[in-house]
Amino acid sequence: MKKVTTSTLMQLKQKGEKIAALTAYDASFAKMFDEQLIDVMLIGDSLGMVLRGDDDTLSVSIDDIAYHTTCVRKGTSRAFVIADMPFMSYATTELAYTNAAKLMASGASMVKVEGGEWLISTISGLVERGIPVCGHLGLTPQSVHVFGGFKVQGREQEQAQKIIDAAIKLEKAGVQLLVLECVPSAIAKRISETLTIPVIGIGAGVDTDGQILVMHDMFGISANYMPKFSKNYLADCNDMRSAVSTYIDDVKTKRFPGPEHSFE
């Protein structure tokens, strides 16, 4: 089967077909997800919480992400692979170039950064140097202490407009994909309709161009807690493969997420 590329993801958006994504951290799970035809796998800095049991993502290093990216790439033949740029690994433009190059060399096809307008020059520079970039707005976990916890973003009109404006500017800077996390469904819908690039939601309602979940949440085995926006697919399935297949089908047919997994 043909590999999923940025062009593939753009075509899915243009056709109105949903994109299904999961986090992955090793070759075995990556192979399983790939065989079930997942579109995108993200090596997330969420590994700090779900693999190590940390309270947040801040202790994850670029070497951690590079290692797990190599593992995931070895198990993947079709899906598009994105690697997170962890906390402070892109604090300066030059640092971003060095660390993004390390992740691409480890097997990523795109890197993901969290933040808005302050990243414009960094994103432009990465894209000019041949490194595809995914943006991330809304609840950005690396800023958890600024937010005062893991809280929904964009409920107030001024804050919502800032997220919308930032999304437009990120697209102009060159991002080819955008993750929206924990924002009201109406705001996510508006952004998805405004941008030409695909928008992937997590706790952002059903009207984004696709969905992503942390694999441990999707299997109901996270060490800490089950987020409101997630669903335990293993609870109603006989095995992990069936759970992944059902998740993908639910995303593609807009059965997931439901209102109970979204925010107003």
Q: Which residue type is seen at 4?
A: V
Nearest Cα neighbor of 139 from 152, 123, 149, 148 is 152
Q: Are 230 and 201 in contact (CB under 8 A)?
A: no
Q: Is 114 annotated as a binding residue?
A: yes
C-alpha dihedral, 92 to 7 to 25 to 178, nearest 10°: 50
Block residue for tokens 């598009």: 80
Q: Is 193 annotated as a binding residue?
A: no
Q: Is 18 annotated as a binding residue?
A: no
Task: Compute the distance between CA of residue 71 and CA of residue 69 in angstroms, rounded to an integer.
Answer: 5
Q: Which residue type is seen at 155?
A: R
Q: Which residues pair with 210 in a beta bridge?
A: 19, 200
Q: In the annotation, is 181 catalytic?
A: yes
Task: Compute the distance between CA of residue 188 and CA of residue 70 in angstroms, rounded to an integer.
Answer: 32
Q: Are 101 and 127 in contact (CB under 8 A)?
A: no
Query: Per the residue annotation, which of 35, 128, 181, 193 is the catalytic one?
Result: 181
Task: Compute the distance between CA of residue 190 and CA of residue 15 in angstroms, rounded to an integer.
Answer: 18
Q: Are 42 and 22 in contact (CB under 8 A)?
A: yes
Q: Is 112 annotated as a binding residue?
A: yes
Q: Is 165 annotated as a binding residue?
A: no
Q: Which residue type is seen at 104?
A: M
Active site residues: 181
Annotated binding residues for 3-methyl-2-oxobutanoate: 45-46, 84, 112
Annotated binding residues: 45-46, 84, 112, 114
Annotated binding residues for Mg(2+): 45, 84, 114
